[in-house]
C-alpha cells in the first residue's frame, strides 16, 4: 500500500478518478454513475482464501443444494474434458462442475482474462504459458495455492513444476507432461534405408533425413508452427536469452546455423514446404503427415488426438518418435524440452475455493485420464505410468514404435528447473523477423539476426 | 408544471433520439474520452501495479517504434484499395444501368461479398491466392507469366494481395450506391445531350460523372475512414503476417492492447490514428470544392 501512495495512483483510484472527471466535465451524470460503480467491481480485492468455506454454504443454499463450479480450459469438451467433469459430477452430487472451453490463442486468453477480471463465475482455469500466468498473478486474479497446507506440488510432480513458480510461490498445479518431439513415418524411414533417429541427432542429420525421405509429392518435414522450426535455439539457450552483461544472446553462431539450415532445407533441398506457402494456405499439418504428404512432423503430444482417430485420419504406417535435434554435436549444453503444461489454477474470486481445490487434486491425481488419449500424460507420481501409456496409445499399439515412445516421449531427461520464458513482445518480434527470412527465397540471415539482436536489445533497454 | 408546446416538441424529439444517443455515449464517447486520459499513463490491462501519469512518453515511444512506421506504410498501401474499388464500381454501375441481360442476378452477385463473413472470405481467398497450386497463379502461368507473384506468401506482395481482396469485398457496396445515384440523373439532360449529338463517352465524362460526383465524394470519404479502421478482414486472412508485412495501424493497436495488455500505449497509438484520419478527411473536405458538383 505504501508503495502505491508513493509511486502513483492505484488502479482503482485511477479508474474512479477518470470516471469522476467525466462526471465533472458534465458529460452525462447518469452514465458517470455507471462507470463509477463498475470500476470497483472490476478491481475488487481478490477474495482469496479468506472468503473460504463460509461463502460456500451461502451460495450452496441459493443453488438448490449443490455447489456449482465453472472450469475453463482450452481443450474441446468432446476431447476429454466433458468426460472428466461427467465422471466427477456423477461421483460428487454436491459439487457440480461445468466445463467451458476457451480457444488458447490471444483472443481466447483475452476472453478468459476479462471474465476473471470482471465476473466471479470462474472457479478453475487452465494456464498454458507461464507468461500468461504471470500476468494473471500480477493482476491478483489467481489464488496462491500455498493457502492449502496439505498440498505439496513438488512431491506430486517433481522438480519439473519449478518453472511454473511465480516469485517462489505456486499459483498453479501443472497437471501434464508436455514434451516436444518429432513424429516420423516408419515406412518412409524404411524406404530410404534409414534407422530411427538417434536420441542425440543433430541438425545436419535431420537435414539429411528430410532430404532422403522426400519423394515425389511428399515433403521431408512439416512443422506445426513457425516456432517449431527454430525450437532448437530455445533448447540450446536453456531458456536463458540474455548474456551475463544483460544483452541479447541471439548473435550466437548457433542461431545463424539453425536459421540457415532450415532456410536451405526450404529453398535448396526443397525438403520443407516453404513457410509462406504453409502459412498462407493455412495447411492442416496433422492431416499432411497422416496422408503421407510429409515424412516427418514437428509437434508434440496433442497429435495423438488425430493419430488415434483412424476414421478421420486413416493411415497404415507406424509412427516413430524423434527428439528435437541439437544444433551441433559439440555444443556444450542442450536441453531436451520436457515441460509441464495444463497448469490448473483457482480464481482469486472463486466463491468456493475449497471445493475447487478438491476438484483440482482429484483432477491431477487421475481425474484427467480421459484426456490421455489426446496425448496428455499425467504428471502426478500417483498415477501408474503404464496405464497412462496404454490410455495414450488408445489400443492402437501397432501404430506406434514402442521403443521410441519410451525413449523419447517418456524420457528421463533431467528437468530444467529454472527458466524465464521470453516476453510475449520479444517472442512475437523474433517470430516476425524469422518469418520474413523464411518466406524470402533470397533472404539474408545476417540481416535477420542483426534485426533480432537490435530489437531485442531495444526492448531490454525500454524495460529498464 | 405544464410545458409549453414547443418545449414538449423538443422533449419528444430528444426522447426519440435517446436510445441511439445513449448507445453512442456509453459505448463510444465515454470509452473514447477514457482512452484520451489513459494515453498519458502506463495503464496495463491486468497489472495491479500503480498507474503513473507519464506525460507524453507514450507518444515519444510511438514515434520511435519501428513497428509504427511499418504499420503506417502498410496502412497507406491498404488505402489504395479504396479509389481502385470506386473506379471499378463506377464502371460497373454505368454498365448495369443500361439495358443488359440478367441484370438483377449480376447486381446480386456483385453485392454478395459485402454480406459474406470475413472468415469465409479469408479461407476462400487463401486458397485462390495459393502461390503454387492456387487457380489464380495457375491462370497467370497458363497465359505465359513464368513467375507470378507469390501473393500472401511473400512479404513484398502480401499487402497488395489484401488490397485485391478488399477491392473485391467493397465493390458491391460502392456499385449499389452508384446505381442509386445514376437513377437520380434527370433523363432530360441525357436526352438533350443526345439531341445535340454527344457521343456515349462524352455524355459519361461531361454529364454523368460530374452529376454523381457527390456520391464519389461520399464513398471516398467513408471508404477511406472505413479502410483505416479495417481490422477483422486482415486479422482473419494473414494476422499481420508474413513477418510484419500486413500489420496495419488498427491491427497494431489491437495487438498492443489485447495481446500485450499495454492499454496506455495502445490508446496513444489509437489517438495518433485518429489524427491521421482527421487530417485525411480534412484534406478531402477542402479538396472537394474543386471537383464535387453541387446545385
- The per-residue DSSP string of A140-165 comes to T-B--GGGSTT--HHHHHGGGGGGG-
Question: d(Cα B172, Cα B121) in Å, to the nearest integer?
Answer: 14
Assigned C-alpha cell, A167: 516469485
Point out the residue among B43, B153, B258 whose CB comes nearest to the CB of A439: B153
Residue A25 has pLDDT above 80, yes or no: no
More confident residue, B248 or A29: B248
pLDDT band with cut points at 50, 70 and 90 for residue A122: very high
Per-residue burial over B67-102, b = 16 or more CB atoms within 10 Å of its CB, e = otherwise = bbebbeebbebbbebbebbbebbbebbbebbeeeee
Q: Is A28 on the interface with B (CB under 8 A)?
A: yes
Closest chain A residue to B256, measured at CA = A425
Measured between CA atoms, how close is B259 to chain A, in angstroms? 6
| Cross-chain residue pair A18–B261, CB shorter than 8 Å | no
> With 0-12 CB in 10 A as exposed, 13-18 as middle and 19+ as buried, what is B41?
buried
Contacts of A149 (CB under 8 A, 6+ apart): none
In a domain, B51, yes or no: no
- Residue A125: its H or E element: strand A124-127
Question: d(Cα A89, Cα A9) in Å, to the nearest integer?
Answer: 45
Question: d(Cα A372, Cα A302) in Å, to the nearest integer?
Answer: 9
pLDDT band with cut points at 50, 70 and 90 for residue A325: very high
Please name the residues between 215 and 234 in chain A that touch chain B, using a CB distance below 8 Å.
Answer: none
Please name the residues between 360 and 379 in chain A that touch chain B, using a CB distance below 8 Å.
Answer: none
Quick one: average pLDDT of A10-31? 51
Q: Which domain holds residue B90?
A: 66-291
Measured between CA atoms, how close is A165 to chain B, in angstroms? 18
Assigned C-alpha cell, B91: 464502371
Residues of chain B found within 8 Å of residue A9, distances taken between Cβ atoms = 50-52
Backbone φ/ψ region at A394: left (φ over 0), alpha (ψ -120 to 50), beta: left
Q: Is B239 on the interface with A (CB under 8 A)?
A: no
Q: Is B242 on the interface with A (CB under 8 A)?
A: yes
The pLDDT of residue A10 is: 62
The pLDDT of residue A43 is: 34
> With 0-12 CB in 10 A as exposed, 13-18 as middle and 19+ as buried, what is B8?
exposed
How many interface pairs between A and B have CB atoms less than 8 angstroms apart? 123
Closest chain A residue to B255, measured at CA = A106
Cis preceding linkage at B133, omega within 30 = no
In a domain, B126, yes or no: yes
The pLDDT of residue B288 is: 86
Question: d(Cα A422, Cα B121) in Å, to the nearest integer?
Answer: 34
Point out the residue among B26, B126, B245 whose CB comes nearest to the CB of A282: B126
| Cross-chain residue pair A31–B46, CB shorter than 8 Å | no
Residues of chain B found within 8 Å of residue A428, distances taken between Cβ atoms = 255, 259
Residues of chain B found within 8 Å of residue A28, distances taken between Cβ atoms = 25
Closest chain B residue to A441, measured at CA = B154
10-residue stretch averages of pLDDT, chain B, 295 residues long: 82 92 93 92 84 88 91 95 96 86 86 88 89 89 89 91 94 92 89 88 88 93 92 89 91 92 93 94 89 78
Question: d(Cα A341, Cα A75) in Å, to the nearest integer?
Answer: 12
Which of B31, B39, B48, B66 should one mutate to test binding to chain A, selecting the residue with the greatest count of A CBs within 10 A? Answer: B48
Q: Give tens-digit pLDDT for A63-90.
A: 457 899 999 999 999 888 999 999 999 9
Q: Is A107 on the interface with B (CB under 8 A)?
A: yes
Residues of chain B found within 8 Å of residue A281, distances taken between Cβ atoms = 126-127, 130
Point out the residue among B37, B127, B243 whose CB comes nearest to the CB of A18: B37
Q: Give tens-digit pLDDT for A251-299.
A: 999 999 999 999 999 999 999 999 988 988 888 999 999 999 999 999 9
The pLDDT of residue A331 is: 84
Per-residue burial over A306-343, b = 16 or more CB atoms within 10 Å of its CB, e = otherwise = bbbbeeebebebbbbbbbbbbbbeeeeebbbbbbbbbb
CB atoms within 10 A of CB A115: 19
Measured between CA atoms, how close is A453 to chain B, in angstroms? 14
Question: d(Cα B75, Cα B72) in Å, to the nearest integer?
Answer: 5
Measured between CA atoms, how close is A446 to chain B, in angstroms? 16
| Cross-chain residue pair A34–B26, CB shorter than 8 Å | yes
Which of A388, A400, A336 shows the shortest CA–CA distance to A184?
Answer: A400
Assigned C-alpha cell, A60: 450452496
Measured between CA atoms, how close is A376 to chain B, in angstroms? 27
Strand A173-185 to A319-322 pairing? antiparallel
- Residue A367: its H or E element: none
Quick one: average pLDDT of A168-183? 91
Please name the residues between 87 and 106 in chain B that touch chain A, using a CB distance below 8 Å.
Answer: none
| Cross-chain residue pair B50–A9, CB shorter than 8 Å | yes
Point out the residue among A4, A106, A138 whose CB comes nearest to the CB of B258: A106
The pLDDT of residue B101 is: 83
| Cross-chain residue pair B41–A435, CB shorter than 8 Å | no
| Cross-chain residue pair B153–A279, CB shorter than 8 Å | yes
Are the C-beta atoms of A240 and A314 separated by less than 8 Å? Answer: no
Q: Which of A163-172, A409-418, B132-141 has the lowest mean pLDDT?
A: A409-418
| Cross-chain residue pair B153–A274, CB shorter than 8 Å | yes
Residue A330 has pLDDT above 60, yes or no: yes
β-sheet bridge partners, residue A298: A182, A223
| Cross-chain residue pair B46–A117, CB shorter than 8 Å | yes
Are the C-beta atoms of B233 and B165 separated by less than 8 Å? Answer: yes
Q: Is A329 on the interface with B (CB under 8 A)?
A: no
Contacts of A80 (CB under 8 A, 6+ apart): A368, A370, A371, A372, A373, A374, A376
| Cross-chain residue pair A455–B155, CB shorter than 8 Å | no
Q: Is B266 on the interface with A (CB under 8 A)?
A: no
In a domain, B89, yes or no: yes
- N-terminal to C-terminal alpha carbon distance within chain B: 47
Assigned C-alpha cell, A87: 465422471
Quick one: average pLDDT of A381-393? 83
| Complex ipTM | 0.79
Residues of chain A found within 8 Å of residue B238, distances taken between Cβ atoms = 280
Q: Which long-range contacts (CB under 8 A, 24 or more apart) does A332-336 make?
A: A333/A236, A333/A238, A334/A235, A334/A236, A335/A235, A335/A236, A335/A238, A335/A239, A335/A413, A335/A416, A336/A179, A336/A235, A336/A411, A336/A413
Are the C-beta atoms of B248 and B75 separated by less than 8 Å? Answer: yes
Per-residue burial over A91-101, b = 16 or more CB atoms within 10 Å of its CB, e = otherwise = ebeebbbebbb
Quick one: average pLDDT of A331-351? 86
The pLDDT of residue A38 is: 33
| Cross-chain residue pair A22–B241, CB shorter than 8 Å | no
Residues of chain A found within 8 Å of residue B47, distances taken between Cβ atoms = 11, 135, 138-139
Are the C-beta atoms of B172 and B112 separated by less than 8 Å? Answer: yes
Q: What's the domain count of chain B?
A: 1
In a domain, B228, yes or no: yes
- N-terminal to C-terminal alpha carbon distance within chain A: 23
| Averaged pLDDT of chain A | 84
In a domain, B15, yes or no: no
Residue A61 has pLDDT above 50, yes or no: no
| Cross-chain residue pair A440–B53, CB shorter than 8 Å | no
Which of B23, B153, B158 should one mutate to test binding to chain A, selecting the residue with the greatest count of A CBs within 10 A? Answer: B153
Residues of chain B found within 8 Å of residue A432, distances taken between Cβ atoms = 241, 243-244
Point out the residue among A22, A277, A282 whose CB comes nearest to the CB of B30: A22
Residues of chain B found within 8 Å of residue A138, distances taken between Cβ atoms = 46-49
pLDDT band with cut points at 50, 70 and 90 for residue A410: confident
Please name the residues between 123 and 152 in chain B that touch chain A, using a CB distance below 8 Å.
Answer: 123, 126-127, 129-132, 150-152
Quick one: average pLDDT of A104-108? 88
Point out the residue among B26, B130, B242 whose CB comes nearest to the CB of A281: B130
The pLDDT of residue A8 is: 52
Supply the CATH number for residue B80's domain.
1.10.3720.10
| Cross-chain residue pair B244–A436, CB shorter than 8 Å | yes
In a domain, B91, yes or no: yes
The pLDDT of residue A36 is: 33
Helices (H) and strands (E) in chain A — how many of each?
21, 9
Per-residue burial over A395-429, b = 16 or more CB atoms within 10 Å of its CB, e = otherwise = eeeebbbeebbebbbbbeeebbeebebbbbbbbbb
Amino acid at each position: 500500500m505504501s508503495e502505491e501512495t508513493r509511486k502513483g495512483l492505484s488502479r482503482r483510484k485511477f479508474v474512479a478518478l477518470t470516471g469522476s472527471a467525466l462526471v465533472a466535465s458534465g458529460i452525462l451524470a447518469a452514465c458517470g454513475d455507471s462507470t463509477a460503480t463498475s470500476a470497483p467491481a472490476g478491481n475488487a480485492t481478490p477474495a482469496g482464501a479468506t472468503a473460504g468455506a463460509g461463502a460456500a454454504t451461502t451460495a450452496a443454499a441459493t443453488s438448490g443444494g449443490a455447489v456449482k463450479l465453472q472450469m475453463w480450459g482450452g481443450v474441446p469438451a468432446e476431447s476429454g474434458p466433458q468426460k472428466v467433469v461427467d465422471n466427477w459430477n456423477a461421483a460428487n452430487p454436491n459439487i457440480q462442475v461445468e466445463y467451458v472451453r476457451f480457444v488458447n490463442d490471444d483472443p481466447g486468453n483475452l476472453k478468459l482474462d476479462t471474465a476473471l477480471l470482471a465476473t466471479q463465475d470462474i472457479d478453475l482455469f487452465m494456464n498454458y504459458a507461464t507468461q500468461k500466468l504471470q500476468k494473471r498473478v500480477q493482476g491478483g486474479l489467481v489464488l496462491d495455492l500455498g493457502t492449502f497446507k496439505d498440498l505439496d506440488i513438488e512431491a506430486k510432480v517433481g522438480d519439473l513444476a519449478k518453472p511454473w513458480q511465480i516469485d517462489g510461490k505456486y499459483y498453479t498445479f501443472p497437471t501434464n507432461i508436455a514434451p516436444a518431439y518429432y513424429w516420423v513415418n516408419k515406412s518412409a524411414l524404411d524406404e530410404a534405408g534409414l534407422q530411427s533417429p538417434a536420441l542425440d541427432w543433430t541438425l545436419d542429420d535431420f537435414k539429411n533425413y528430410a532430404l532422403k525421405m522426400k519423394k515425389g509429392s511428399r515433403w521431408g518435414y512439416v512443422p506445426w508452427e513457425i516456432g517449431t522450426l527454430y525450437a532448437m535455439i530455445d533448447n540450446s539457450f536453456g531458456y536463458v536469452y540474455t548474456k551475463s552483461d544483460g544483452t541479447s544472446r541471439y548473435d550466437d553462431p548457433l542461431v545463424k546455423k539453425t536459421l540457415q539450415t532450415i532456410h536451405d532445407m526450404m529453398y535448396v533441398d526443397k525438403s520443407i514446404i516453404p513457410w509462406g506457402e504453409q502459412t498462407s494456405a493455412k495447411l492442416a499439418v496433422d492431416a499432411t503427415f497422416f496422408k503421407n504428404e510429409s515424412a516427418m512432423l514437428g509437434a508434440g503430444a496433442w497429435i495423438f488426438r488425430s493419430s488415434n482417430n483412424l476414421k478421420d485420419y486413416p493411415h497404415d504406417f507406424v509412427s516413430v518418435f524423434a527428439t528435437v535435434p541439437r544444433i551441433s554435436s559439440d555444443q556444450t549444453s542442450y536441453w531436451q524440452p520436457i515441460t509441464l503444461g495444463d497448469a490448473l489454477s483457482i480464481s482469486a474470486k472463486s466463491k468456493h475455493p475449497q471445493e475447487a481445490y478438491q476438484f483440482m487434486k482429484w483432477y491431477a491425481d487421475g481425474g484427467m485420464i480421459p484426456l490421455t488419449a489426446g496425448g496428455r500424460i499425467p504428471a502426478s507420481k500417483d498415477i501408474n505410468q503404464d496405464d497412462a501409456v496404454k490410455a495414450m496409445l488408445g489400443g492402437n499399439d501397432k501404430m506406434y514404435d514402442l521403443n521410441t515412445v519410451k525413449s523419447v516421449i517418456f524420457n528421463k531427461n533431467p528437468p530444467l528447473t529454472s527458466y524465464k520464458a521470453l516476453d510475449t513482445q520479444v517472442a512475437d518480434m523474433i517470430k516476425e523477423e524469422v518469418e520474413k527470412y523464411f518466406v524470402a527465397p533470397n533472404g539474408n540471415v545476417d540481416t535477420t539476426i542483426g534485426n533480432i539482436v537490435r530489437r531485442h536489445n531495444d526492448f531490454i533497454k525500454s524495460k529498464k | 408544471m405544464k410545458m409549453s408546446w414547443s418545449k414538449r416538441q423538443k422533449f419528444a424529439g430528444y426522447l426519440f433520439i435517446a436510445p441511439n444517443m445513449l448507445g453512442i455515449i456509453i459505448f463510444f464517447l465515454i470509452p473514447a474520452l477514457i482512452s484520451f486520459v489513459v494515453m498519458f499513463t502506463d495503464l496495463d490491462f491486468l497489472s495491479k501495479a500503480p498507474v503513473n501519469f507519464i506525460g507524453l512518453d507514450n507518444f515519444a515511444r510511438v514515434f520511435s517504434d519501428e513497428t509504427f512506421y511499418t504499420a503506417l506504410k502498410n496502412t497507406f498501401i491498404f488505402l489504395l484499395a479504396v479509389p481502385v474499388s470506386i473506379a471499378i464500381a463506377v464502371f460497373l454501375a454505368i454498365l448495369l444501368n443500361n439495358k443488359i441481360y440478367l441484370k438483377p442476378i449480376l447486381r446480386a452477385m456483385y453485392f454478395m461479398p459485402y454480406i459474406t463473413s470475413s472468415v469465409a472470405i479469408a479461407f476462400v481467398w487463401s486458397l485462390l491466392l495459393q502461390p503454387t497450386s492456387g487457380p489464380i497463379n495457375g491462370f497467370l502461368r497458363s497465359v505465359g507469366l513464368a513467375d507470378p507473384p507469390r501473393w500472401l506468401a511473400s512479404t513484398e506482395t502480401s499487402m497488395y494481395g489484401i488490397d485485391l481482396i478488399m477491392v473485391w469485398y467493397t465493390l458491391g457496396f460502392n456499385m449499389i450506391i452508384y446505381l442509386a445515384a445514376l437513377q437520380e440523373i434527370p433523363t432530360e439532360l441525357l436526352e438533350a445531350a443526345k439531341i445535340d449529338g454527344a457521343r456515349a463517352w462524352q455524355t459519361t465524362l461531361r454529364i454523368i460523372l460530374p452529376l454523381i460526383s457527390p456520391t464519389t465524394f461520399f464513398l471516398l470519404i467513408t471508404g477511406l475512414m472505413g479502410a483505416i479502421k479495417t481490422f477483422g478482414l486482415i486479422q482473419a486472412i494473414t494476422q499481420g503476417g508474413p513477418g510484419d508485412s500486413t500489420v496495419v495501424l488498427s491491427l497494431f493497436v489491437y495487438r498492443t492492447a489485447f495481446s500485450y495488455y499495454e492499454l496506455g500505449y495502445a490508446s496513444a497509438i489509437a489517438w495518433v490514428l485518429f489524427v491521421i484520419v482527421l487530417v485525411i478527411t480534412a484534406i478531402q473536405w477542402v479538396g472537394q470544392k474543386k471537383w464535387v458538383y453541387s446545385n
